[in-house]
Amino acid sequence: MALDGMDGGAGLDGLDGLDGLGGLTGNVGASGDEDYLMAFEDLTPFEVEYFVRELQEFRLEDVGGKQWLNQHEKMEKLNHTAHNQAKEGYDEFVVDQLNTGEKLPTLIYDLILIEVWKEKIWPLVKAKIAKFSSLRTYIPVYHECTAVNLLEICLYHRTSCEEAGDALVDLVDFCVRKLRYVMATPNDELVRQVADAREVTEWDSVRALDEQFLEAEFQVCMCVISVLRFLT
């Protein structure tokens, strides 16, 4: 699976300081948290069809931009609806639509894209965006959880594994990298235990983002275990 603009670190070429990341720093923190603190309701079949049809592959520099944030919100709603359908035993038309629309490779591409963003871009921008709204700066970090969680509910079904096709090779590589991280990281660093609330109040904004990053990474690793189980 090729990610356009990433070969040889091309996604970082031409950056003068952090000016080249305007797509992120210009959108994250632009408005209040309340825009993203919404209670999701299950999508209708028509909404699911529209959301799935609109899923697209973004470039590395698009992460954090307006269109990317819109797609993140759609994926959150699809994920919420898919899990409710599985839990309640309803017709799982979210999974069916993703299979019919041949969007499993797109989801896998999106997952690997955000993994690369977290590895290559996040260390460069976190200090700059830490001053913005904490929820909005957390969204790109949390997006990997959303993507892998949606894939997890899909890959429970054999038909989804078949529809993913050759993209499963990239997904397995992703899972191996996450498991390697779990095996190589000491337990006290893998899952942080906060002593008390006073300790949290002493964190600066960068430290708070680092803690959120580690928590999201652990959640992704737990989902990866289920994904590998379904693939085998």
**Average pLDDT of span 128-146:** 80
Closest by CA to 177, choosing from 129, 227, 133, is 227
Confidence of residue 34 (pLDDT cuts 50, 70, 90): very low
Average pLDDT value over all residues in the chain: 81
Q: What's the number of CA atoms in the CB half-sphere (13 Å) around residue 224?
A: 22
Q: Which residues of 38-58 are buried (b: 16+ CB within 10 A; e: fewer)?
A: eeeebbeeeebbebbeebeeb
Summarised one tens digit per residue, pLDDT across range 69-100 is: 999 999 999 999 999 999 888 888 999 999 99
Model-wide pTM > 0.85: no
DSSP code, position 65? S
Q: Residue 167: CB partners within 8 Å, gap ≥ 6?
A: 1, 104, 105, 108, 109
CA distance 138 to 91: 32
Q: How confident is the model at residue 147 (pLDDT cuts 50, 70, 90)?
A: very high
